[in-house]
A and B are shown apart, each in its own frame.
Chain A
Amino acid sequence: MSEEQIMSLEKYFEERIARDEKIEPKDWMPEKYRQTHIRQMSQHAHSEVVGMLPEGNWITRAPSLRRKVALLAKVQDEAGHGLYLYSATETLGVSREELYEQLHTGKAKYSSIFNYPTLTWADIGAIGWLVDGAAIINQVPLCNTSYGPYARAMIRVCKEESFHQRQGYEIMIKLANGTPEQKEMAQDALNRWWWPSLMMLGPTDDKSVHTEQSMKWKLKRKTNDELRQQFIDQTVPQADLIGLKIPDPDLKWNEERGSYDFGGIDWDEFWQVVKGHGPMNKERMKARVGAWERGAWVRDAAMAYAEKKEKRKQAV
C-alpha cells in the first residue's frame, strides 16, 4: 500500500471513530491503534490477574463464612475479568501466552496498586472500597470505547464489578461501627491505601504521555486529574459517613470549585513502584510465574490427552 492510500484509510478510520462507530477485529486499523490497544487491554487484564493475589491472601483467613464466600466470589470474578480481557486482546492477533510472557518478563505493566501488601482484614475492605472505586471510575467510560471486543468485555466486567465496591464498603462499615480495635484497623487500612489509590488514577496530566491519542480513540474519556478529582469528591463523603478520617491534612472543601482541594501526592513513591521497586513487586511476579510454571505439566497433560482422544476417535 502506498503512503497516500494509508493516509486516506487512516482518515476514513478516524472519521468512523468520531461517528461513534465500533471497530471490529477484522477491520483495517492503523498499526498504532492495534499496538496501543494491545498494550492497554493486556495491562488491564494483567491488573485483574495480579490483583487476585493481595485479596487472595485473605481467603483462608476471612473472619466469617459469609465474608469468605463473598471474597472467594470476588477474587474469582477478577480471574473471569482477566480472562474476558485477555480474550478481547487476542482478537488483535496476540496470544494469551505471549501476553503472559510479557507480564512475566516485566515487559508489560499492571496496576501498581497491587504491589502493596494486605496486612490486615481491613485491607480487604479498603481495597474493595477504594481500589475498586477508583477502577470503576476508570472503567465505566470504557464500556463505550471504540474497539468492539474491548467495549463488550468492559460491559460484562462493569456489570459484575458492581458488587465488589459494595462488598468492600460494607466491610468498612462493619469495622467502623465495631469495637475500638476494629475501628482502628479500618482507619489504619484507609491510611495506607488512600494515597496509592489516588496514584492509581495515573500521573498528572502534564506528565501523562498517552492522553491525547487515547481520548481520540475513546480509550479515555477524562484526563487522569479529572478522574482523580471525581474519585476524591465521591469518596470523602463516604469516609465521613462512617467516621473515618482521610489521611490528608490539606484536604478541604473548595466552595468555589465545588470540589475538594487535596494535598500533594508523593510521585517519587509512585515511580518507584511502577519501576518495580514497590513493597510487593517481586513477590507478585514470583507468584504469577510460579503458578504458570507449576501448571505447565498440567496444561501439557490436558493437550496430550486431547490429542490422544482425537486420534482414537478417528481410528474408530
Chain B
Amino acid sequence: MATKDWPLWEIFVRSKNGLEHRHFGSLHAADAEMALENARDVYTRRNEGVSIWVVESKHITASNPENYGELFEPAQDKVYRHPTFYDLPDEVKHM
C-alpha cells in the first residue's frame, strides 16, 4: 500500500470556561478522534485547556491578504461603531 500521510489539523483550545477557543497550532492525525487525543497530549500538557476543537486544515477557507483593502479598510472609518465617537459631558457616570 502506498503511504499516505496523516493530514494536518488546526487546534483550538479553550483555556478556561468563560474564554473563547483560541488557535493554538496544528498537528497531524489520521482522523478526528486521534486529532483530539493528540491535541490533548501536545497542546495541554501543562494544564492549558478545558476544551478542544479540531478542524482539518483543508476545511478552513481563509481570506486573501490581497483583498485586505476591500475587506477591512472600509471598517476603519466607521468610527461611529466605537463608543469614543460620542461626546458626553464628564459628569455623566456609568455610561
| Interface residues of A, Cβ cutoff 8 Å to B | 24, 26-28, 76-77, 80, 83-84, 87-88, 90, 95-97, 152-153, 156, 160, 296, 299-300, 302-306, 309-310
Q: If A299-B3, A303-B4 touch, does A28 touch B65 (CB 8 Å cutoff)?
A: yes
In the complex, chain B residues whose CB is within 8 Å of the CB of A296: 3
Q: Are the C-beta atoms of B3 and A300 separated by less than 8 Å? A: yes
- Cβ contacts B30-73/A at 8 Å (1 or 0 each): 11001000000010011000000000000000101110000000
Residues of B54-95 contacting chain A, CB below 8 A: 62, 64-66
Q: Is B19 an interface residue (CB 8 A)?
A: no
Total A-B contacts with CB atoms under 8 angstroms apart: 53
| In the A-B complex, the 5 residue pairs with the closest CB atoms | A302-B30, A306-B31, A306-B30, A87-B26, A27-B65
The answer to whether residues A305 and B31 also contact, given A24-B65, A26-B62, A27-B65 and a CB cut-off of 8 A, is: yes
- Interface size (B, Cβ < 8 Å)? 20
Contacts of B42 in A (CB 8 A): 80, 83
Nearest residue, chain B, Cβ from A309:
B31
Tell me, rounded to whole Å, the shortest Cβ–Cβ distance linking B35 to chain A.
Answer: 10
Least distance between A68 CB and chain B CB atoms (Å)? 17
Q: Does chain A have a CB within 8 A of B21?
A: no
A316 to B39, alpha carbons, bound, how many Å?
28
- The answer, among A77, A153, A303, for a CB contact under 8 Å with B30, is A303
Q: Does B14 contact A (CB under 8 A)?
A: no
Interface centre among B8, B25, B42 (most CB of A within 10 A): B25
> Is there an interface contact between A87 and B27, defined as CB atoms closer than 8 Å?
yes
Q: Chain B: which residue is nearest A152 at the CB level?
A: B25
* CB pairs A–B below 8 angstroms (28 shown): A26-B62, A27-B65, A28-B66, A76-B45, A80-B42, A83-B42, A84-B25, A87-B25, A87-B27, A88-B25, A90-B8, A90-B26, A95-B5, A96-B5, A96-B28, A152-B25, A296-B3, A299-B3, A299-B6, A299-B30, A300-B1, A300-B4, A302-B34, A303-B5, A303-B6, A303-B30, A306-B31, A306-B34
Contact B65 A304 (CB under 8 A): no
Chain A minimum-CB-distance residue to B66: A28
Are A304 and B1 also in contact (CB < 8 A) when A80-B42, A80-B45, A299-B6 are? yes
| Complex Cα spacing A24 to B62, Å | 12
Q: How far is the CB of A8 from chain B (nearest CB, A)?
A: 15
